[in-house]
Amino acid sequence: MAEGNRHLGYKDVLNAIEDRSPGAKASFLFGFLDRAHDRFVDDADDERAALRECAVCGSPTTGDVCAFCRLRDRVGAEAAAVPSARAKPELATATMSALDSVVDVAPPRRR
């Protein structure tokens, strides 16, 4: 969503590789996981110990409320403040539906 974000380009490249060689994306992912797994075990254990349930939806989070619920609250508040969203509540509903597909990701761990 950020201006200048290159990830969509990377995604296009991966999709082009997948088109020419079906299974390449899964192979890339599982190969990475196999080779990198041991490097993340300690961090994952630490992060898992810090997880609790989101007070709103029950999903795992490191805070009281998960990132998805915080974002949904923020979008809801901003949509309520925008005249076009008030005049067209289906826009706010469509935005909320789109956000439902967002996966909650724990914030990066600080050292």
Q: Is 51 helix (H, G, I), strand (E, B) or coil?
A: coil
Residue closer to Zn ion by CB (options 24, 99) is 99
Return contacts of 93-98, CB within 8 angstroms, 24+ apart: 96/72
Phi, psi of 6 (to 5 degrees): -95, -5
- Binders of Zn ion in range 48-67 (CB under 5 A): 54, 56-57, 59, 66
**Contact of 69 with 54, CB cutoff 8 Å:** yes
Residue closer to Zn ion by CB (options 18, 104) is 104
Task: Please report how close the Cβ of residue 104 comes to Zn ion at its closest, in angstroms.
Answer: 7
Residue closer to Zn ion by CB (options 29, 57) is 57
Binding site for Zn ion (CB under 5 A): 54, 56-57, 59, 66, 69
